[in-house]
Structure 1
Amino acid sequence: MNTKNLEIHFKDKSASEILSEYLRPFCTQSTILLCIGTDKCIGDCLGPLVGTLLEKSSFPLPIYGTLNSPVHAINLKEKIKEIKKRHPFSFVIAIDACLSSSENIGTIEIRHSPIFPGKGIGKTLPPVGDLSIIGIVDSVRKDKSLSLHSIRLSFVMDMAEVIVKSLLDATDRKSD
């Protein structure tokens, strides 16, 4: 099983195939997805958008965090407790939008570490996930201002579709 982190731009023609191959060993029956974010801010809707698209595709693994039922800063601690109670021995793949430097915008990263939700905007929330899928949606400005509200929905949707296709392929091929 690969334990090296992976980075690929969502526009790379083979992005979903590369991500799928990488994710396949982690998508087992004990895996759950925790899709973090809110639909109230386009720059932070990547996680719930992925969760919703997977749910509509009859994804075979449990999903927490959709557009209709988001997991965000306000309910994160409560959802973590619920997940630990309902799935005590699960492997959690956490999915979230992330801020980085401007040259990394559009990159999807898989990390062998938890996500620290809200870190990019100065919030301190508990780390979540055994494996993280992050989509870099924007950068922090030099004056520390955020532009999460000026990100195009089409950009976030395109990135979400690559992540969704990779997860669907990773689980479909698992049953072959």
Structure 2
Amino acid sequence: MKNYKIHYKNNLAIFELSKILKNFIDKNTILICVGTDRCIGDSLGPIVGTLLTYKLFPLPVYGSISSPIHALNLIEKVSHIKSLHPTSNILAIDACLGDESSIGEIQFRNSPLYPGKGVGKTLPHIGDTSIIGIVDCNSANNIFVNNTIRLSFILDMATIITESLFNCIYLNELQV
């Protein structure tokens, strides 16, 4: 399985996503949540990081609303994180642009995250696996700052991702 897609409004989204994630997350996994708190469309990662931290997620989480990992500090922060966890598996989480028909999809990818790719930035890839939330279409005139992206939409997607990660930990503990 390379990629997995589920719409955030699917009633079983949390359980279906966690069922996939449990095969890729273990005690040696860390999470890097990418994005900025200065733009609603790009705040998915920091909101997930904040929710996980507030709820005391049992694995290391980097990137939050108060300490975001974004294009301007990404190289330095990821390098520091890797020095702290040199043998860890990294799950990267970020917002993404896609086709209009894909808006609202949460995608798990068994591949790294390529931050900034959708907006033409060249940044290093992050992680071994990734979760992306498609928050807008890549044909939008004002990428990620489009006034039509609602904070409630981003928060709903972030909540699905957060709860899926907690459920994944629960599922893995049952199998230990």
The two structures share one fold, judged by TM-score above 0.5: yes
Judged with a 3 Å threshold, the aligned counterparts in structure 2 of structure 1 residues 33 and 147 are, in CA distance, closer, same or farther, namely closer
Once the two structures are aligned, what percentage of the paired residues are identical? 51
Structure 2: which amino acid aligns with 1:128?
I
Per the alignment, residue 162 of structure 1 pairs with 160
Question: Whole-Å Cα distance in 1 between the matches of residues 162 and 22 of structure 2?
Answer: 13
CA RMSD of aligned residues (A): 1.2
2 CA distance for matches of 1:71 and 1:62?
Answer: 14
Q: Which residue of 1 aligns with 2:72?
A: 74
Task: Verify the 8 A CA contact 2:22 2:172 in the aligned structure 1.
Answer: yes
2:58 aligned to which of 57, 60, 69: 60
Residue aligning to 1:115:
113
Q: Which residue of 1 aligns with 2:20?
A: 22
1:130 and 2:128 equivalent? yes
Which residue type is aligned with residue 124 of structure 2? P
Identify the residue that residue 94 of structure 1 maps to in structure 2: 92
- Once the two structures are TM-superposed, the CA of residue 4 in structure 1 deviates from its matched residue by 3.0
Residue of structure 1 equivalent to 2:172:
174
Find runs of 4+ consecutive structure 1 residues off by over 3 angstroms.
none
How far apart in 2 are the matches of 1:130 and 1:148? 28
Gaps of 5+ in 2: none
List runs of 5+ in structure 1 lacking aligned partners: none
Q: Aligned equivalents of 2:159 and 2:54: distance in 1?
A: 12
- 1:49 and 2:47 are equivalent in the alignment: yes
Deviation at 1:83, TM superposition (A): 1.6
Mapped contact 2:2–2:111 kept (Cα < 8 A): no
- Partner residue, 1:103: 101
Report the TM-score, using the length of structure 2 for normalisation: 0.94
Counterpart residue number, 2:143:
146
The separation in 1 between residues aligned to 2:159 and 2:83, in whole angstroms, is 30
Is contact 2:40-2:144 (8 Å) kept? Answer: no
Question: What CA distance in whole angstroms lies between the structure 2 residues aligned with 1:106 and 1:148?
Answer: 17
Question: More displaced, 33-42 or 20-29?
Answer: 20-29
Q: What number of residue pairs does the alignment pair up?
A: 173
- Output one character per residue of 1:87-108: Cα deviation in whole Å (capped at 9) or x when no partner: 0001000000000110000000
Q: Is the 8 A contact 1:97 1:136 kept in 2?
A: yes
Conserved 8 A contact 1:35-1:94:
yes
- Normalising by structure 1, we get a TM-score of 0.94
What's 1:35 paired with? Answer: 33
1-structure distance, mates of 2:59, 2:96: 24
- Following the alignment from structure 1 to structure 2, what is the Cα–Cα distance between the partners of residues 48 and 84? 19
Paired with 1:36 and 1:167, the residues of 2 have a C-alpha distance of 16
Partner SS, residue 79 of structure 1: helix
